[in-house]
Structure 1
Amino acid sequence: MRADEEGIAVTEPITRVERTLAVKRFSVPRGFIAIVLATLLIFVLGFLVAPSSVSSSALVGMMPFFAVLAVAGLGQMLVVQQGGIDLSVAGGISLAVVVVVHEPAGDSSKLLPAVLIAVAFALGAGLLNGLLVSRMRINSIIATLGTNAVLYGIVFVISGGTPRSTTPLLRSIAGGVSGGIANSVFFALAALVVVVVISKKSVAGRRFEAVGANPRAARAIGLRVRTHQTLSFVWAQLLYCLAGILLAGITNQPTAFQGDSLLLPSVAVVVLAGTSLLGGRGFPVSTVIAALFLEQLQQFVLALGVDTSVQTLVQALALVVGVGLYSIDWSAVRRRLLPGRTPPAPA
């Protein structure tokens, strides 16, 4: 029902294009539905098969590490949106951990300067990655792998390879609990809100996604492709820095290799959330839910009495499943396997 120029209500059929736009406007991403169902399933399965994996103590112990993975996953997502993969996530997190633990040396009054130093290192690492990839045209895997080696070199210079206890202030902030919820979860939610608002609700964010989806077309219409690609690594390193600071407060005596365990999971949660490895649209909320799924999956595996070494295999399997679901053109596979059953083209 519509109104003409004189205000008289007239009936007019809705066109096919209008219906399509309406559906897309209110559609829910396939990855979001899939990861929500998978997360609910792993919790139900844990309740039925391994109740200890969903006990209150297990959930309280798991939530801080879920928050760290969620923050790291958001950083990795920004790089993947530009068609890259950031292998410097381990070095970036480890460097932040070492700086905020070793520089204060147990003195809470020196924590703020240490945090600022960690942020400065993150900015430098992000710019280095961005310049290597966007300006020098080096493959992101090779560039970030080299940056990761540089970051670990700085880690050893600062720490000497020896662990040290975190400051009481950082332990109370990052490792504390408010209202029965770990403080680190609030930091993760704050990071999620910032990423969602900037990437989904701003002009710069829409341009960022456009550059990732099609750099050539974005360059043709005047978008600064190299700038957006560089900034993706900078924002990612800042999020890795936050993850490292949280991890330093959660772990009483973190090691110099604390970020190693987050490399594979940070990629897995992005893929499980439905973000294409070829770049384009990202899904921050789904990425955070995927982090919850992956952490609970590890809890479930450990509750079954499986050796801890199997955790890496579980993460790798989750990554393979995510790539299989969202990166393979299954319709093309069906056409090849069943050529006689190809549906006719629409008129």
Structure 2
Amino acid sequence: MQEPERKTSPRGPAGPAGLTAVEPGDRPPRAPGRGSGRTLGRPSRGLTTIVVGTVLLLAVSAVAAPESLGSSSVRGMLPFAAVLAVLALGQTLVVQQGGIDLSVPGFVSVTVVVVTHVPDGDDARLLPAVLLAYGICLVAGLVNGLVVARLGMSAIVTSLGTNALLYAVVLGISGGSPRNTTGALRRLVASSTLGVPHSVVAAVLLTAVVAVLVKKSVVGRRFEAVGDNPLAARLAGLRIHRHRTSAYVLAALLYCTAGVLLAGIVTTPSAFQGDSLLLPSVAAVVLGGTSLLGGKGSAVASAVAALFLSQLDQFVLTLGVSTAVQNIVQAVALAVGVAVYSVNWRGVLGRLPSRNVGSARPVGAS
């Protein structure tokens, strides 16, 4: 009896040598040109959507609440939008690796406490305090990354635990009491050049650096490949654990930078200044179109989404609603972002009954 012919892939035999073996249930590698470097010159769907949404929000604000676009309102809103943009950059890196970082409040709060309590108003001790804050955040980010990447723990559980540890440090240093920002930090962060706040300049520069690093460099493309399809990346010889760990470390450094900026913007920041920043940081990433399953993402879109959320808060605040309503609006914006990017609307619309049902002929009619 003749043995049936064994089929092989045109690229070589199935298995690690040909990089074509795919286990059942795993996503196959993307074809070149779809999500690869060939499409880097085109704006992503998320960037286009959030830019259009921001323009529409500004138009509605100009009609319904013009005070929210006044010069004083914009000057007050932009620095906080810059802080949120930097946080969103870090959260984007983590989400691109299929995780989510719930330790954002702890990172921001510990940074604010260290750079305000350690100097205690002495400008000469500001630099050591900032370096100490970065050191703490670096270690905490490394712990997050190693536990998630090496031990396989849930990103949610790990980041919640890290957040609790960071708040223990906050209480140990501050006792829960606020402290004034040093004059040097306030002059550095809260000042403006040519009318542009330094915090905004920092956010724009960081956004450009992250965008170029992820989209234009070989390391960045490998980073996205690991998040998009870990199996294919592993078969291609990429170091999955290293890329996932680096996402949490870089995110921690960005959170620390946001905390330094926030400490310079607010004259007397509280010891729990980061409490209200978790939901907006996640919402900015989702509204920017970054897939919650990992892979593709846009640093620029996340930064624009941070501006959108900040203006939305300003708009709602101008209408005179309570803080609870503002939180509900942020939650609704997050839900809308998930619906827009995650739901297959073509499939949903395709399953709707046709409008011409009434004109259909009965079975057996001639």
Same fold judged by TM-score > 0.5? Answer: yes
Letter in 2 for 1:269: A
Q: What's the % identity of the aligned pairs? A: 56
Aligned to 1:111: 126
Distance 1:249 1:66 in 2: 14
Distance 1:336 1:142 in 2: 38
Q: 1:70 aligns with which of 85, 91, 96?
A: 85
Letter in 1 for 2:57: I
Is residue 227 from structure 1 mapped to residue 242 from structure 2 by the alignment? yes
The offset of 1:25, in angstroms, is: 6.2
The offset of 1:332, in angstroms, is: 2.8
Distance 2:288 2:119 in 1: 37
Distance 1:52 1:164 in 2: 32
Aligned to 1:45: 60
The offset of 1:340, in angstroms, is: 10
Aligned to 2:304: 289
Letter in 1 for 2:235: A
- Determine helix, strand or coil for the equivalent of 1:313: helix
> What are structure 2's unaligned runs of at least 5 residues?
1-31, 357-366
Is residue 144 from structure 1 mapped to residue 151 from structure 2 by the alignment? no
Q: 2:289 aligns with which of 274, 280, 283?
A: 274
- Determine helix, strand or coil for the equivalent of 2:255: helix
Is residue 256 from structure 1 mapped to residue 267 from structure 2 by the alignment? no
Distance of aligned partners of 1:103 and 1:26 in 2 relative to their CA distance in 1, 3 Å threshold: closer
The answer on whether the counterparts of 2:208 and 2:300 sit within 8 Å (CA) in structure 1 is no
Q: Deviations over 1:66-106 (max 9, x none)?
A: 00000000000000000010000110011111110101000
Distance 2:327 2:122 in 1: 36
Letter in 2 for 1:324: A
Aligned to 1:11: none
Q: 2:177 aligns with which of 135, 158, 162?
A: 162
Alignment of 1:1-347 (within 5 A): 24=39, 27-338=42-353
Between 203-212 and 329-338, report the one with greater CA deviation: 329-338
Distance 2:241 2:354 in 1: 42
Aligned to 1:8: none
Distance 1:26 1:107 in 2: 48
The offset of 1:337, in angstroms, is: 3.4
The offset of 1:333, in angstroms, is: 2.3
Between 131-140 and 241-250, report the one with greater CA deviation: 131-140
- Determine helix, strand or coil for the equivalent of 2:99: coil
The offset of 1:335, in angstroms, is: 3.6
- Determine helix, strand or coil for the equivalent of 2:153: coil
The offset of 1:218, in angstroms, is: 0.4
TM-score for the superposition, normalised by structure 1: 0.90
Letter in 2 for 1:225: I
Of Structure 1 and Structure 2, the greater helix share is in 1
The offset of 1:27, in angstroms, is: 3.6
The offset of 1:176, in angstroms, is: 1.4
Instruction: State the superposition RMSD in angstroms.
Output: 1.9
Between 38-47 and 81-90, report the one with greater CA deviation: 38-47
Distance of aligned partners of 1:223 and 1:298 in 2 relative to their CA distance in 1, 3 Å threshold: same
Distance 2:83 2:40 in 1: 32
Distance 1:268 1:277 in 2: 11
The offset of 1:152, in angstroms, is: 0.5
- Determine helix, strand or coil for the equivalent of 1:148: helix
Distance of aligned partners of 1:138 and 1:339 in 2 relative to their CA distance in 1, 3 Å threshold: farther
Between 326-335 and 184-193, report the one with greater CA deviation: 326-335
Distance 1:301 1:337 in 2: 35
The offset of 1:339, in angstroms, is: 8.6
The answer on whether the counterparts of 2:83 and 2:258 sit within 8 Å (CA) in structure 1 is yes
The offset of 1:256, in angstroms, is: 1.1
- Determine helix, strand or coil for the equivalent of 1:337: coil
Q: Deviations over 1:283-325 (max 9, x none)?
A: 0111111111100011111111111221111111110000001
The answer on whether the counterparts of 2:40 and 2:215 sit within 8 Å (CA) in structure 1 is no
Letter in 2 for 1:310: V
Q: What is the number of equivalent residue pairs in this alignment?
A: 323
Letter in 1 for 2:65: A
